[in-house]
Structure 1
Amino acid sequence: MGVKIIQAGETAAPETGPVAPAVQTPTPSQTIVAAAPSKKVAEIELSSGRTFTVRKLGPLDRMLASKAIGSEHVVNALYANYAMIACSVTAIDRQPVSMPSSQSQIEALVFRIGEDWDELTDEMGKVFKTAEPDTFDPDAVKN
């Protein structure tokens, strides 16, 4: 089991073969990705041998996921929690997975994750754990 944090612009799968020198002009897509706010992405290998690439959902992602969940299920905390985690998965065994856009797609993705669900959510919790808020130190403030 292992976790690899992936920075914007990196690929989840290791590259094969010789790597050309990095003297190329970035493509327009690479420029946009580099300028975008950094999204935390991790590749998580579970004890089952399966690998999941997951990302921390941003505000727009959460909004789109809520739309896919639907108004009747978004108030159901259990359903919404499963759906949000499923929407965080971007690849299974390095095969890309699209973000679900309907309840049936969410349920199909939860089904694909299957028995790995608990271990995956535990590892995601460790990777995406938010830092404790800073405490205010009045002595650190200078006049």
Structure 2
Amino acid sequence: MNIPAEVKTAAGHTLGLKEINPGDMLDLIEAAGSAMSSASAGAWLGYAQMICSVTSIDGVPVQMPMTKDEVRHLATEIGNDGVAALSPIFYPKADTKASDVTETAKN
């Protein structure tokens, strides 16, 4: 995954970003605790990974959350505007063009 160093929100806030490394992911799984045993574990972990990739908000550093409550607090700080800016980076839509579909159909 290619994550930019920062992203601007529609409201003009700047979020500093980093790619979550394997050690961070293990910490995040541990922070998830009982959430990992639920049916929504994958969704929670994916969303939390996106939230935890934020290293600063408007130049003010934020620490990697170590508990579910800290993940929730950071998500609240990032807000809907921040999540809207992060989502295309972590969940890009398929870039399928009509011509690609036509070519596939021809084969």
- The whole-number CA distance in structure 2 between the counterparts of 1:125 and 1:54 is 15
Q: Compute the displacement of 1:77 (Å).
A: 2.0
Q: Return the match for 1:122 from 88, 102, 107.
A: 88
Task: Encode CA deviations 1:96-137: one digit per residue, 9 max, x unaligned.
Answer: 0000001100011111111121222213556xxxxxxxxxxx
- Alignment-mate amino acid for residue 80 of structure 1: L
Structure 1 counterpart of 2:35? 73
Match of 1:4 in 2: none
SS in structure 2 at match of 1:100? coil
8 A Cα contact 1:66 1:74, kept in partner: yes
Task: Give the ranges of 4+ consecutive aligned residues of structure 1 lying more than 2 Å apart after TM superposition.
Answer: 123-126
What displacement does 1:68 show? 1.1
- Contact in 2 for aligned 1:82/1:110 (Cα 8 Å): no
Paired positions, count: 86
User: Which of residues 95, 111, 116 is equivalent to 2:76?
Assistant: 111
Structure with greater contact order relative to length (CA < 8 Å, sep ≥ 6): 2
- What amino acid is the match of 1:69? A
Higher helix content, 1 or 2:
2
Q: Confirm or deny: 8 A CA contact 1:52 1:92 kept in the other structure.
A: yes
Q: Any unmatched runs of 5+ in structure 2? A: 93-107
In structure 1, list runs of 5 or more residues that go unmatched: 1-39, 127-143
Quote the residue 1:43 is aligned against. Answer: 6
The amino acid that maps onto 1:60 is G
What residue identity is the alignment partner of 2:27? L
Contact 2:17 2:56 in 1 (8 A): yes
Partner of 2:5, secondary structure, is strand
The equivalent residue for 1:95 is 60
- The C-alpha deviation readout for 1:2-34, integer Å capped at 9, x for no partner, is xxxxxxxxxxxxxxxxxxxxxxxxxxxxxxxxx
